[in-house]
Amino acid sequence: ADPEPVQDFCVAAPHGSGGPAFPGLPCKPSSSVVSDDFFFAAHARGASTDNAMGSGVTPGNVEAFPGLNTLGVSINRVDLAPGGVNPLHSHPRAAELVHVVVGEMLVGFVSTEGRFYSKVVREGESFVIPRGLMHFQYNVGKSAARAMTVFNSQLPGVVFAAQALFGAEPEIPDAVLAKSFQVDAEIIKLIKSKNRKG
Ligand code: GLV
Ligand code: MN
């Protein structure tokens, strides 16, 4: 069988022109590898939650932490202000284990059968999101909340629902979205106005 994809795509480079290896990224020579290559400190601090979602994710994937290359794991830190949400998204390449370190959050996902599974998860407790399914974390407590999220991929990939549908570049035609959601194009334009980058 083919190896599992570890990135969205890997268009073949013209013969002899190099480019990233598949799967994963090229390795540095082992003679130059040092202990710090296996160390990651960025999660000692959280990301700001001072934004429209009230949430901040600090990624710890292979792009941030090169020592993870080919090891099949990665870890994020998720910070949520009271009422903050890490908005609906999915990971095409990984299951996600959500371990709550501070506070309490509603964690939920929707299965391929359209069933919504969710739980209020508190300090020291965990919840698992099966690979590829749409999910969120929502701070239902009165104070800041924090989770560490662990993945069985060095680069899980993330598709934010609202951004993917209403903020894609170039745009998905309004008519396609209006038909898909069974609403007027005006409503699509309104949602698009909130999801454009920049
Ligand atoms: C949380 O859902 C995350 O992807 O880090
Ligand atoms: Mn996630």
- Digit-coded pLDDT (tens) for 21-64: 667 788 888 888 999 999 999 999 999 999 999 999 999 999 99
Summarised one tens digit per residue, pLDDT across range 67-97 is 999 899 999 999 999 999 999 999 999 999 9
pLDDT at residue 12 greater than cutoff 80: no
pLDDT at residue 15 greater than cutoff 60: yes
Closest CA to 6 of 157, 160, 159: 157
The rounded radius of gyration (Å) of the Cα atoms in the chain is 19
As a residue count, the chain comes to 198
* 166 Cβ contact list (under 8 Å, min separation 6): 172, 177, 188, 191, 192, 194, 195
The SS3 of residue 66 is helix
CB 75 within 8 A of CB 147: no
Other C-beta atoms closer than 10 Å to the C-beta of 185 total 14
Summarised one tens digit per residue, pLDDT across range 146-179 is 999 999 999 999 999 999 999 999 999 999 999 9
- Residue extent(s) of CATH 2.60.120.10 domains in the chain: 52-157
Pairing between β-strand 126-129 and β-strand 135-139 as defined by DSSP bridges: unpaired
Summarised one tens digit per residue, pLDDT across range 117-126 is 999 999 999 9
d(CA 186, CA 182): 12
Nearest CA to ligand 1 atom 4: 149
| Ligand positioned closest to the Cα atom of 105 | 1
Complex ipTM, two decimals?
A: 0.97
pLDDT of residue 11: 73
User: 73 alpha carbon to ligand 1 midpoint, in Å?
Assistant: 14
* Ligand 1 pocket, residue 86 CB under 6 Å: yes
pLDDT at residue 106 greater than cutoff 60: yes
> Averaged over 92-108, what is the pLDDT?
98
CATH number for the region 52-157 comes to 2.60.120.10
d(CA 168, CA 47): 25
| Ligand positioned closest to the Cα atom of 61 | 1
pLDDT of residue 198: 57
Amino acid at residue number 24: G
pLDDT of residue 19: 66
Residue 8's DSSP bridge partners are none
* Ligand 1 pocket, residue 74 CB under 6 Å: no
User: 170 alpha carbon to ligand 2 midpoint, in Å?
Assistant: 25
DSSP state of 30: G
d(CA 60, CA 46): 12
User: 135 alpha carbon to ligand 1 midpoint, in Å?
Assistant: 8
Terminus-to-terminus CA distance in the chain, angstroms? 42
Q: What are the backbone dihedrals phi and psi of residue 34, each rounded to the nearest 5 degrees, phi first? A: -125, 165
